[in-house]
Structure 1
């Protein structure tokens, strides 16, 4: 692999970052630059690198030893492991520059930025020297609508002006392959205006998945910034327990207004979940576990748990009940675990293999009891029933973890520095 001389930053997104020994530290998620008041190319200050557990740090370009086609290699030394926080004067290249509309000076044509090329100058600083742009319409010099070409940084104007409404097509295409948790992490690094533009462009299902991965304050802020009708649609697309938790953080008037805009069949389980205490089985549970009637077969159960939208914890078992099947169901009969389902003939009935000896919980059971129950029986989910033994929902181990971990667990700094030797001082934005 040979080092490249000009690097287009969008192509760096997602590639591995390695220490001098060849050990992977993380992946590139963005680059940080600052705008200049003159027409000189802006300096690239560093890269935003995502480590394990979605922890993002800043790595100055001075620590980059070389950039290869499929890897960024750092020099030895330590890095500052504090979570990356964008400063006021800084610009995230991929999050903020992509899809910006600018004007080519020579022919006054409007184009949108789809990538930015950086290279080292004589001082060995990395600067953005080229822009890959796409035409918005035909030009007087023969360029077609949608044509992609490169221009020098100083051949365009309008970068210093913040757009009232910036496009999102290029950025969304980069985020499309990321998991919802990674998209949520990217949104946290964006300015409020850009975050709302991206959120508004996501479809309801995708935005619902992303919202569920954000801290509660960010969830409330983002949902409140949407039009009420759109906010209600997104709440409908969320898991009912997450929707209930989110609404529970909002003022009562906002709760009522959004619940009334939701479809009645979608709002009803959310209203019910909101009646339970936060740290009880009822407040933790989802009312949409995998539920089957006694005459269902093993083959039908296995088909249901193959649903990719189910979390692994909920897909690990099916709950067997008397009619009706929707929660609150008829009388709870027992649980058929996935491992047992895989050992039985496809034609066998789930009612014949379900177990009830691992017990159930009442909705008012405190989180400490839920945790002990899961640990005692080595479960990944436990059924919650009412006084009439009707299934109300299930608490999964991931629901419990979300409430046991510190509020700021997503932002927790890494405990140690995985890069090189420990003799070099921690680096700053200045490299």
Structure 2
């Protein structure tokens, strides 16, 4: 094991694994908690926010961290599993300090943007924020847009070349004040490799102000993916703060079932305005989904399952389910229908499961191997019927057809779980408040001594 480096940059901690002394991973770093102090004293690092399964954020005191290694944080094995709640005297280094503007001392008030913070251990063994990595104003991370107005394509983050500096904490001013209109590019860059459900958990824990700023900085597809994983209240809040044209763009990028669920939470006037702004081919399936009750097969289904014609080959079907953007539950089978191949299709003929596709020669026609024995379901059937059907036949999705036998969509097992779990399942996480390897009261006392101390 290598020695702990003398300086650690907090943005590089984002997402790295946290291990106990025996080498078992308990979670990943999501942020660093600091306490701001009167100038010129540097902020003191109190601890790390660690995400433990399933999507629960807990506080790891910095006093329990034994090593910062390349790609890993090692702690002494004792941690309080109570959900982390930020206190009024605390600041999140990643969530709140990155992308702040500040002034360089002795430079005539030159503006710079913070993109990282360096922490070091003092002679008293305390960790302090001693360095600030900044980029001169106008030379930071930003977004590039193609054109403007409705239908504009956001192309994602780009780097504008410019001078970057690492300066002492005392060489800047202005970071202690809350900034309106704060950017979020550096925060997003720190978590750019994070999967959408994990990023959604980070976004959920931010203040409403920072959530709006992060949403403004994300590209449409990434924001759509994150919205699909957020609680409904967060979805409505974020969508309501977007420009209405961009809100319509983001809804077009969401899965139809998730977009319809979100639209269903909005006032009817706002919902109709957004639908009117969307492309007709995107709005039409959402209107169909909104016509069904939320807890029916029609209300849960997606209108974009994998559909092939009866004259398609096994090779062609496999090529479709290989798409990396396809939900794994939807990729588990293809539905054979007569043209047209977009919902509502021509007559539904049957289903071919991907395992069957893997066992057949590539030139084989899917119509020769499709399963016609299991009947599809109708859109008005309730949640209980759909869940029983999936459980009875050990399926991960079920086709939904209309009275004329045309495929309308498919309900996947994750859609059913979303409706069977409590409304707050995304937020509830683990209920165990105990520590590991030590009496929970002892962990509580040590944490309170650290976080409650006046420095």
- Do they fold alike, i.e. is TM over 0.5? yes
Paired residue secondary structure (2:86):
coil
**Structure 2 counterpart of 1:183:** 199
Deviates further, 382-391 or 187-196:
187-196
Deviation at 1:429, TM superposition (A): 5.1
Matched, 1:420 2:437: yes
**Structure 2 counterpart of 1:244:** 260
CA contact (8 A) 1:207 1:234 kept: yes
CA contact (8 A) 1:45 1:430 kept: no
**Structure 2 counterpart of 1:85:** 85
Distance 1:76 1:263, change over 3 A: closer
Gaps spanning 5+ residues in structure 2: where?
Answer: 140-160, 451-455
Distance 1:415 1:190, change over 3 A: closer
The total of aligned residue pairs comes to 425
**Structure 1 counterpart of 2:363:** 347
Matches within 5 A, 1:108-187: 108-136=109-137, 146-187=162-203
Aligned equivalents of 1:82, 1:424: Cα separation in 2: 12
Deviates further, 401-410 or 334-343:
401-410
Matches within 5 A, 1:190-229: 190-229=206-245
Paired residue secondary structure (2:273):
helix
Bigger RCO of structures 1 and 2 (CA < 8 A, at least 6 apart): 1
Q: Deviations over 1:239-291 (max 9, x none)?
A: 11101100111111111111111111111100110011111100110011001
Paired residue secondary structure (1:425):
helix
**Structure 2 counterpart of 1:101:** 101
Matches within 5 A, 1:2-13: 2-13=3-14
CA contact (8 A) 2:14 2:191 kept: no
Deviates further, 318-327 or 89-98:
89-98
Deviates further, 159-168 or 282-291:
159-168
**TM-score, length basis structure 2:** 0.89
Deviation at 1:423, TM superposition (A): 6.3
**Structure 2 counterpart of 1:313:** 329
Aligned equivalents of 2:390, 2:232: Cα separation in 1: 25
CA contact (8 A) 2:12 2:190 kept: no
**Structure 1 counterpart of 2:146:** none
CA RMSD of aligned residues (A): 1.8
Aligned equivalents of 2:357, 2:399: Cα separation in 1: 18
Matched, 1:256 2:257: no
Q: Deviations over 1:290-330 (max 9, x none)?
A: 01111111111111001111111000100011122111111
Paired residue secondary structure (2:336):
strand
Aligned equivalents of 1:270, 1:137: Cα separation in 2: 41
CA contact (8 A) 1:6 1:117 kept: yes
Aligned equivalents of 1:418, 1:38: Cα separation in 2: 36
Deviation at 1:412, TM superposition (A): 2.2
CA contact (8 A) 1:2 1:69 kept: no
CA contact (8 A) 1:3 1:69 kept: no
CA contact (8 A) 1:55 1:410 kept: no
CA contact (8 A) 2:80 2:440 kept: no
Deviation at 1:424, TM superposition (A): 5.6
Distance 1:197 1:358, change over 3 A: same
Q: Deviations over 1:127-168 (max 9, x none)?
A: 111111222369xxxxxx722222111111111222222222
